[in-house]
Amino acid sequence: MAAQQVAAAMEQDVGVWLDRTTRNAGMAVSCERKQVEFKRFSYAPSAAMNATWKERVAAGWSADYCSRPLWLEAAQNGWKLTLSVWSSDGGHVTLVAECRR
C-alpha cells in the first residue's frame, strides 16, 4: 500500500531532471510480483551503459534506496526493487537493488 502511494506521488515528478542527463520517467508497483520498478530516461547513448557504468549506478542506487526504511523493509520482505533506464538510442538496462541484511 505504501509503495502504491509513493508511486502515485512520483507521477508528479515525471519529466523532472535528476541530473544533467537523466530524467524521471515514473514508477510502477506490482503487488502480485512483489516488484517496484523505478523508471529513468537518459540522454546518454546505450554504449555509455557499459559494465563499469552498470556497476557504478547499481552500487549507488542500491546504497541510496536500501538506506531508506520503506525500501529496506520491502526488500527484506521479498520485494524486488529495480531501476530501469532507457537510453536516447533505445537501449534499456534494468538493475536490481542489493539490500544486505
What are the DSSP calls for 23-76, one per residue? EEEEEEEETTTTEEEEEEEESS-GGGS-HHHHHHHHHHHHHHHHTSHHHHHHHH
In a domain? residue 38: yes
**pTM, two decimal places:** 0.83
Which residues on adjacent β-strands are paired with residue 85? 40, 93
Q: Tell me whether residue 72 is in a domain.
A: no
Q: Give the angle subtended at the CA of 22 by the CAs of 1 and 99, to the nearest 5°.
A: 45
Asked whether residue 74 is domain-assigned, the answer is: no
- Domain annotation covers residue 95: yes
- Per-residue pLDDT 10s for the chain (101 aa) are 666 666 666 677 777 888 888 998 988 888 889 999 999 999 989 999 999 999 999 999 899 989 999 889 889 999 999 999 999 999 999 999 998 76
Number of domains composing the chain: 1
* Position 66 in a domain: no
Task: Tell me if 14 is assigned to some domain.
Answer: yes
> Hunting for cell 559494465 — which residue is that?
51
Q: Which range marks the domain in which residue 1 is found?
A: 1-43+83-101
Domain assignment of residue 98, yes or no: yes
